[in-house]
Structure 1
């Protein structure tokens, strides 16, 4: 039988309680979700600011479609780069205080593109152990040497930098990490990273997918001016679709010429680009959304039983470590019976022995939602 491994590996996934299946969502408002005709409180959405159904953003989407069409119809280097894309790049660059911004179809594509384009033979890539799969895949597909430092362990990173610098001080080094880590919800220490990078003459690449919109005075994320390259997605707190890379003019020109995902992909929808401008404007104006997230996060931590293994976080992501795949699945199912939707996260998305419930809080949740969620978790897990 050809490709026998397909059935074998699927069977193995089931045996390990790691088999994945999609669910068909009938409706999702951010706070609530309807699956198979049943309504749940949704605590698995990345719509952190609750902007997905914002009327101004939806109106901008319609306006963008009427002005520019739904599809870009070509790659950006052919005829796909129009005024909507240019305006969004300028808006995002001004928001972040960066020289230039380049749009990508997704965060996965952007991460892969940058790692592959910069990962030349005379480059070493130093990745946080918990960096996103797209960063790792991009690094593995490049010609660069690759090493991974222990998660947020800057002494380990310093030792790797010192070792490689001593061996070859002509080596170009790029340090890659996430701003807020997608599965744990903890943050990178930007000050520590920039000090190490400056000392080693290295560049920093920061994935802000889960910190853009919810961190910073106007939602710009946690990056400082010393971070060389910032990537962020539009599909989470910004509530549209696509991604961007922010950098200086020289790097921007380099990626336009050598980032294969950018060169060979159809540009993002101009209607989406037009709507994304409105979303950024809304984030800057409605700062109460970030403040409400902080309030709900504190409430959740206070209501949860102290025996529950909650990973420390200052973000909207609250990881509850239950260790075993079967236990995570069982807890998720029990919560569904109580009208709560929380997804069980299992390996290989997270390391072995750290299967978890990944709870995400959004700005359109109510205090009573958080209290009920904590009560249910206390009942299911304690």
Structure 2
């Protein structure tokens, strides 16, 4: 076993495969499904300790601020760190009005919905939130889900039948892809953001099946690349071929569209025109619930009584829906406008600094600043050295992105100051240098075919 390669470039599947390789195939076939993972924690700890690249599953000790006390997944302190790793874009999770909304909800309603929304799990805040979101989005119907993931999966699964088809952007979120594959075997991908690729796929499908249902799926802002599709073109194409468009607005709603915070839909002038809008309150609204909205009659009943993650899940708690309501109020206020302006300015500034350093920054200004690193080994080492310098960042690698396109996903908050951006950029430059130096030392003793990148 090449332990060095496994640690610096291996995936979870590779770790499991390394365990399987040392196990008798016959015994494994007769064993419990979970037995294959018995030694994984020990191996994982031993392997990662070799190079200290275990930068996943970190813990925050206290509120999510721009500076946080953190520890690794085993509870070992990482010290005070600059926080570029959380999805609290408007910095509302510790906002005094948000905290007070949660306290008031507890006093008035308690802490738990204690029932499915199809039965008696709805509360005054949840009903108010559905109405407020419908009005804000310019749509007639909105239904809440316990999570954004559940909203995406559940919407696709409820809408699509076995005889229908789903056509997704190849980089659509896992929740959307898994929902599609759970609904039908007729699932197709089109090239990322490519309208012509989408049209070719729709044209072929319609020729094969003149009357079947087709759902086109994309996102309004892709969190791995910070890029945006042409929503109007997607919607027009969908209707031209008798299809419906579903757009996941998780990462731009509340953050982009500086006038009103309605994301790419606002910027592109398609507010209220998209067939189905799904999203999450967990990025800009400080709450753990999601939603599906539409202008189509019957959507709410279809979701409530025909979507497993809604029908058979406990409804969002009154605390979460009260928090989301307060978050929406802030997003719509002058304070929300100021937060969006700061995020745009900080993103533009950080991108300019990183560009000047010769780094490849993906996409356009948003709360997400993805820095392409390439190889997994270099990326893991860079993330390790960033943490050692007191900057928390998220590493994204295969299978979340394509092989050899690993990236550091820097995530901004409205409370980041210019000095935080400069410190992050300086730490990144130093960390890349340290990672490259270590890789050269490692590769010096390896043959050309086994070089790590």
- The structure, 1 or 2, with the larger RCO (C-alpha pairs under 8 Å, 6+ apart) is 1
Once the two structures are TM-superposed, the CA of residue 172 in structure 1 deviates from its matched residue by 1.2
Asked whether the 8 Å contact 2:216–2:245 carries over to 1, the reply is yes
TM-score normalised over the length of structure 2: 0.80
Greater shift after overlay, 273-282 or 342-351? 342-351
Asked whether the 8 Å contact 1:342–1:357 carries over to 2, the reply is yes
SS in structure 1 at match of 2:189: strand
Unaligned runs of 5+ in 1: none
Once the two structures are TM-superposed, the CA of residue 20 in structure 1 deviates from its matched residue by 7.6
SS in structure 2 at match of 1:28: coil
Structure 1 distance, partners of 2:60, 2:85, is 13
Structure 2 distance, partners of 1:332, 1:236, is 23
Which residue of structure 2 lines up, in the alignment, with residue 2 of structure 1?
A: 32
Structure 2 distance, partners of 1:380, 1:22, is 20
SS in structure 1 at match of 2:361: coil
Asked whether the 8 Å contact 1:68–1:84 carries over to 2, the reply is no
Q: Of residues 375, 380, 385 in structure 2, which corresponds to 1:334?
A: 385
SS in structure 1 at match of 2:247: strand
Q: Of residues 323, 326, 349 in structure 2, which corresponds to 1:278?
A: 326
Structure 1 residues 262 and 377, CA, compared in 2 at 3 Å: closer, same or farther? same
Which residue of structure 2 lines up, in the alignment, with residue 218 of structure 1?
A: 260
Once the two structures are TM-superposed, the CA of residue 294 in structure 1 deviates from its matched residue by 0.7
Once the two structures are TM-superposed, the CA of residue 207 in structure 1 deviates from its matched residue by 0.6
Once the two structures are TM-superposed, the CA of residue 62 in structure 1 deviates from its matched residue by 0.8
Which residue of structure 2 lines up, in the alignment, with residue 353 of structure 1?
A: 404
Structure 2 distance, partners of 1:245, 1:188, is 20
TM-score normalised over the length of structure 1: 0.94
List structure 1 runs of 4+ shifted beyond 4 angstroms: 7-15, 17-21
Structure 1 residues 356 and 173, CA, compared in 2 at 3 Å: closer, same or farther? same
Structure 2 distance, partners of 1:107, 1:145, is 24
Cα displacement string for residues 313-332 of structure 1 (whole angstroms, at most 9, x for unaligned residues): 23111111111111111111
Which residue of structure 1 lines up, in the alignment, with residue 15 of structure 2?
A: none
Asked whether the 8 Å contact 1:120–1:144 carries over to 2, the reply is no
Greater shift after overlay, 253-262 or 290-299? 253-262
In the alignment, does 2:241 pair up with 1:200? yes
Q: Of residues 157, 166, 171 in structure 2, which corresponds to 1:116?
A: 157
Q: Describe how 1:1-382 pairs up with structure 2 within 5 A.
A: 1-3=31-33, 4-6=35-37, 21-36=56-71, 37=77, 38-143=79-184, 145-216=186-257, 217-223=259-265, 224=270, 225-248=272-295, 249-285=297-333, 286=335, 287-304=337-354, 305-381=356-432
Structure ID, larger Rg: 2
How many equivalent pairs are there? 381
SS in structure 2 at match of 1:122: coil
> More helix by proportion, 1 or 2?
2
Structure 1 residues 7 and 350, CA, compared in 2 at 3 Å: closer, same or farther? farther
Greater shift after overlay, 230-239 or 30-39? 30-39
Cα displacement string for residues 39-59 of structure 1 (whole angstroms, at most 9, x for unaligned residues): 100001111111111111111
Structure 1 distance, partners of 2:112, 2:84, is 32
SS in structure 2 at match of 1:134: helix
SS in structure 1 at match of 2:100: helix
Structure 2 distance, partners of 1:298, 1:247, is 33
Unaligned runs of 5+ in 2: 1-30, 72-76, 434-453
Once the two structures are TM-superposed, the CA of residue 337 in structure 1 deviates from its matched residue by 2.0
Once the two structures are TM-superposed, the CA of residue 381 in structure 1 deviates from its matched residue by 2.9
Greater shift after overlay, 243-252 or 357-366? 243-252
Structure 2 distance, partners of 1:30, 1:126, is 39
SS in structure 2 at match of 1:351: coil
Once the two structures are TM-superposed, the CA of residue 23 in structure 1 deviates from its matched residue by 2.2
Asked whether the 8 Å contact 1:214–1:290 carries over to 2, the reply is yes
Once the two structures are TM-superposed, the CA of residue 7 in structure 1 deviates from its matched residue by 5.1
Once the two structures are TM-superposed, the CA of residue 19 in structure 1 deviates from its matched residue by 7.4
